[in-house]
Structure 1
Amino acid sequence: MKISIGLRLFASVLLAILAVAASAVFLLRQDVLERFGDYAAQVELDRLEELSATLARRYARSGSWDFIPAAHKRAWLADELARRNRNARCGSWRRPHRLHRLHHRRHRRHRRRARRCPWRRLARPCR
């Protein structure tokens, strides 16, 4: 059975495209894996640097290492690092101020009314 030239050309172009795509995925994967290790190490170094700065401030304030429990130094340091990791993951998010929430509630209520009565939107804009 003879395969037509069009089918052979299509298959060769398809194989070439697949080879290029596979090599690109492989190279990108290698690059990401290499850089991610550096990134993870840098993040840990930054967190340890923050911890060391906090320890230095607390030592300067108290003049001794008494703020660290003598019996559980490693556990205290592990807890402090875990607390810092939790804070870093959560970020500096805070609940909005009560007045801010009330403003948004009033704004939502106004928008609901505006959907029901189109002329109210023109009469009373949200402040």
Structure 2
Amino acid sequence: MFYAILAYHVEDAIEALTPREDAALMAELLKINTRLHAEGTLGPSARLGTTRDACTLRGPGDGVIIDGPFAETKEQLLGLYVVDCITRDDAIEIARDLRRVNPTAVYEIRPILLFKPGVPLAEK
């Protein structure tokens, strides 16, 4: 089963990192990405742009575009991983690995039920 691991963090804390601190954090996360890729578990992953560059589409009909994500949390969604795991516990263990190197982040693990209609998911 595919799982999304959504990485939440206080955006201001990440933006406050020096370039050296940010590079060190990303290097540690890359070690996990490299391992998961070698294991055949890692799908797409991304570091998202800032929430100030985001917008939200809401409302009926064509909807209205509103600046920002307007999440009801103090943390913002800053990145995501798609992993292919046999069990939820396997996905949780990967999230724990990510948290070991980025302990102030919050990771949400959510099953992915559908990518695109008519497009089959890759099978192991």
**TM exceeds 0.5?**
no
Question: Greater RCO between the two (CA within 8 Å, min separation 6)?
Answer: 2
Name the TM tier (shorter chain): under 0.3
**Largest Rg, 1 or 2:** 1
Higher helix share: 1
State TM-score, norm by structure 2: 0.21
State TM-score, norm by structure 1: 0.21
Higher strand share: 2
